[in-house]
Amino acid sequence: MPLPPIWVRRLVVAPAVVVLAVVLVTTLPFWLVLALITSPLVPGHLRVPRLMLAGILYLLWDAAALIVLAVLWVASGFGHSIRSPGFQRAHYVVAGRFLAILFRVARWALHLTIDVVGTDPDTALPGRPEIVVSRHAGPGDSFILIHALVNWFDREPRIVLKATLQWDPAVDVLLNRLPNRFISPGRTGTATLEQQIGETATGLDENDAFVIFPEGGNFTPRRRTSAIARLRARGLADAADRAENLRHLLPPKPGGLFSAIDAAPDAGVIFVAHTGLDRMVTVADVWQELPMDKRLVMKFWSVPPEEVPTDEQERVAWLYDWWARIDAWVEENRPAFRPLSTDWTARRSAPTA
Segments of the chain assigned E as strands: 113-117, 130-134, 156-162, 181-183, 208-212, 268-275, 295-303
Q: Using alpha carbons only, how large is the chain's radius of gyration in Å?
A: 21
Whether 132 is in a domain gets the answer: yes
Whether 56 is in a domain gets the answer: yes
Whether 185 is in a domain gets the answer: yes
pLDDT at 344: 33
Give the H/E segment covering residue 325.
helix 312-332
Higher pLDDT, 167 or 347: 167
Whether 166 is in a domain gets the answer: yes
Closest CA to 296 of 218, 352, 215, 245: 352
Q: How far apart are CA 300 and CA 271, in angstroms?
A: 6
Give me the domain span that covers residue 50: 6-352
Distances (CA, A) of 224 to 94, 219, 247, 249: 37, 7, 9, 8
pLDDT at 39: 79
Q: How far apart are CA 166 and CA 164, in angstroms?
A: 5
Q: How many domains does the chain have?
A: 1
Whether 98 is in a domain gets the answer: yes
Are the C-beta atoms of 148 and 349 separated by less than 8 Å? no
pLDDT at 341: 37
Please give the model's pTM, rounded to 2 decimal places.
0.85
pLDDT at 19: 97
Q: Give pLDDT tens digits for 111-145.
A: 777 777 765 555 555 678 999 999 887 666 778 88
Parallel/antiparallel/unpaired status of strands 208-212 and 130-134:
parallel
Q: How far apart are CA 147 and CA 151, in angstroms?
A: 6
Whether 1 is in a domain gets the answer: no
Give the H/E segment covering residue 31.
helix 28-38
Are the C-beta atoms of 118 and 342 separated by less than 8 Å? yes
Q: How far apart are CA 166 and CA 182, in angstroms?
A: 8
Distances (CA, A) of 16 to 23, 57, 167: 10, 16, 12
pLDDT at 348: 42
Q: Give pLDDT tens digits for 180-204.
A: 988 875 554 555 888 889 999 999 9
Q: What is the mean pLDDT of residues 228-249?
A: 93
Higher pLDDT, 284 or 73: 73
Q: What is the mean pLDDT of residues 228-256?
A: 93
Whether 256 is in a domain gets the answer: yes
Q: How far apart are CA 114 and CA 105, in angstroms?
A: 13
Distances (CA, A) of 22 to 19, 41, 318: 5, 29, 51
Whether 240 is in a domain gets the answer: yes
